[in-house]
Amino acid sequence: MSAYPAAGLEAAAGALITARNIVNRFGTQVVHDGLDMEVREGEVFGVVGGSGSGKTVLLHTILGLHRPNSGEVLLGGRDITRLTGEELRAVKRDYGVTFQHGALFSSLTVRENIQLPMVEFFDLPAAVLDELADLKLRMVGLAPEAGAKYPAQLSGGMIKRAALARALALDPKLLFLDEPTAGLDPIGAAAFDELLLTLQKNLQLTVVMITHDLDTIFRTCNRVGVIVERKMVTDTLEGIVGNDHPWIHEYFHGPRARLARGGERS
C-alpha cells in the first residue's frame, strides 16, 4: 500500500503511455519522424536503438522534459505536450526515473537524495522522512547505514540502487530507467535485473527501460520497441528476434545476442 495519496495516473484501455506521430528535429537533423509507441500497464518495455537514434530524446519527450515539434504523448490519458508547468509537475509525481549515471546530488547524503521528492511534494516530519528513506533503501537491497554516505563513497552498483530508491520515493506505478545496468559487471547487472523483476512484481510496476544490455533485455522485457529509420518497431521479444529488418536482425542475432538468448526468459 502506498504511503501517499493517489495522484490519479490510470491506464486507458490497458495503455499507460501512448505516443503518437512524434516528430523531433534539431535544426536540419530529424531524430524522430512519425514515431509511435505504446506501453501497456504492468509490462517491462525495453527501448533499443543504435547510437544517435534518439533513445534519450524520446525518454525526455515522454517525461515532459522536451516538447516535440509535433505529435502527442498521452500519459494516463493526458497529453503532456499540452500541459502547463503546474499541471506537468502534478503528472511528474506519478512516475519515478533513474538516469544513466545515477544523477545523485553529490553534496547530499544518500538518505537526503531519496528524501528530495518527498520534501518537494509533502510536508512531513524529519523522523518520518528518515523512516521512509530507510524503507526505500531496504527495498533496493541497501542497508540503512548506506543512507548516511555520500554518492562518492558508494560503488557503482550501490549508486544504481540508491538512484532506484529515490525513483521509488513516492511509490510510483510507472518507472523509467535509462541504461540501468550500464557500467556494472555481469554479476552486478544480473543482480540488478533480478531486483527489478522482484520490485516490478511486488509493487505492480510498469517499467520503461532504455538499454543496450542484451542480457537485461532477454531477462526482463515483455515487449521491445526498436528505433529504426526514425520510427519505432514494437513487438514481443520473440517477435523482435524474428524481425527481418537488417539492423534489428544484426542486433539480435550477433554473437553477443546468441549468448544472451541462452538466458532468455521462458
Tens digit of each residue's pLDDT (9 = 90 or more) over 28-51: 999 999 999 999 999 999 999 998
The Cα 9–Cα 264 span in angstroms is 32
If DSSP codes are grouped into helix, strand and coil, which group holds residue 78? strand
Q: Is residue 141 part of a domain?
A: yes
Q: Is there a domain that residue 165 lies in?
A: yes
With cut-offs at 50, 70 and 90, classify the pLDDT of residue 8. Answer: very low
Q: Tell me the pLDDT of the chain averaged across its residues.
A: 89
C-alpha cell at 114: 531519496
Q: Is residue 138 part of a domain?
A: yes
Q: Report whether 35 contacts 227 (CB < 8 A).
A: yes
Report, in this order, helix, strand and coil percent for the chain, each rounded to 5: 40, 25, 35
Residue 99 resides in a domain? yes
Domain that holds residue 238: 42-64+88-263
Q: How many domains does the chain have?
A: 1
Q: pLDDT, tens digit, for every residue of 113-171?
A: 999 999 988 899 999 999 999 999 999 999 999 999 999 999 999 999 999 999 999 99
The CATH number of residue 255's host domain is 3.40.50.300
- Rounded Cα distance, 100 and 40, in Å: 23
Q: Are 195 and 220 in contact (CB under 8 A)?
A: no
Q: How far is Cα 27 from Cα 235, in angstroms, rounded to an integer? A: 31
- Summarize pLDDT for 188-244 with one digit per residue, the tens: 999 999 999 999 999 999 999 999 999 999 999 999 999 999 999 999 999 999 999
**Which band of pLDDT confidence, cut at 50, 70 and 90, is reported for residue 256?**
low
